């Protein structure tokens, strides 16, 4: 099973054509194109975990817009990372147009996600949060508030990274002595 397929299955994302046993899509780009072909520009997905707390909480549902604009610094994107589908904030961007790459980080995590995200891994941009049955356009999902949160999140990661590396080195050294 491909990583993307496993990630999509973990979110219980199903396409109508999959009910009859036809193949699932292998990457985010194919999935988005399939949604466009179905006429869907937005999808509601469940949230689990605490990496984006308090903006996104376990049990929330997020409204994800597929395609269209390139994600900007400060916006929350849904993307494929190994065998999971994550929703994290964009903290850096390089490149223009279709040739771009993003760095993302959970607001409540110490370090940024590994590597750069290319367009082939982006599922969409979070537009709104559905909590307790109410759809809310949340502050921090873009604009000035999102850019400020991205800056603070990146600063937190920059300050925490040396401490994290030191802890990893100490743990490895302790493992070598045992």
pLDDT tens per residue, range 39-93: 778 888 888 899 998 889 999 989 999 877 889 999 999 998 887 889 999 999 9
User: What is the pLDDT averaged over residues 94-102?
Assistant: 89
Question: For residue 29, what pLDDT band results from cuts at 50, 70 and 90?
Answer: low
The superfamily (CATH) of domain 3-177 is: Umud Fragment, subunit A (2.10.109.10)
How far apart, in Å, are the Cα atoms of 120 and each of 31, 32, 81, 108, 155?
Answer: 10, 10, 11, 25, 27
When mean pLDDT is compared over 3-12, 60-69, 121-130, 132-141, the highest value belongs to 121-130
pLDDT confidence of residue 177: 57
- How many angstroms separate the CA atoms of 46 and 59, rounded? 7
pLDDT confidence of residue 136: 84
Q: Where are the domains of the chain?
A: 3-177
136-175: per-residue pLDDT in tens?
Answer: 876 556 667 767 777 777 777 677 777 777 878 888 888 7
Tracing tokens 């509601």 back to the chain, one arrives at: 44
């Amino acid at each position: 099973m491909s990583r993307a397929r496993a990630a999509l299955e973990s979110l219980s994302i199903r396409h109508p054509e999959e009910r009859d046993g036809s193949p699932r899509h292998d990457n985010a780009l194919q999935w988005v194109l399939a949604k466009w072909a179905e006429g869907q520009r937005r999808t509601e997905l469940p949230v689990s975990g605490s990496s984006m707390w308090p903006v996104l909480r376990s049990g929330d549902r997020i409204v994800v817009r597929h395609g269209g604009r390139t994600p900007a610094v400060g916006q929350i994107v849904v993307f494929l990372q190994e065998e999971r589908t994550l929703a994290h904030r964009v903290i850096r961007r390089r490149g223009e147009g279709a040739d771009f790459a993003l760095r993302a980080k959970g607001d409540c995590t110490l370090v940024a996600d590994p590597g750069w995200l290319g367009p082939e891994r982006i599922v969409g941009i979070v537009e709104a949060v559905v909590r307790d049955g109410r759809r809310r356009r949340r502050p921090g999902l873009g604009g000035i508030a999102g850019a400020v949160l991205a800056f603070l999140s990146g600063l937190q990661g920059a300050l925490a990274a040396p401490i994290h590396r030191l802890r990893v080195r100490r743990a490895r050294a302790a493992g070598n002595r045992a």
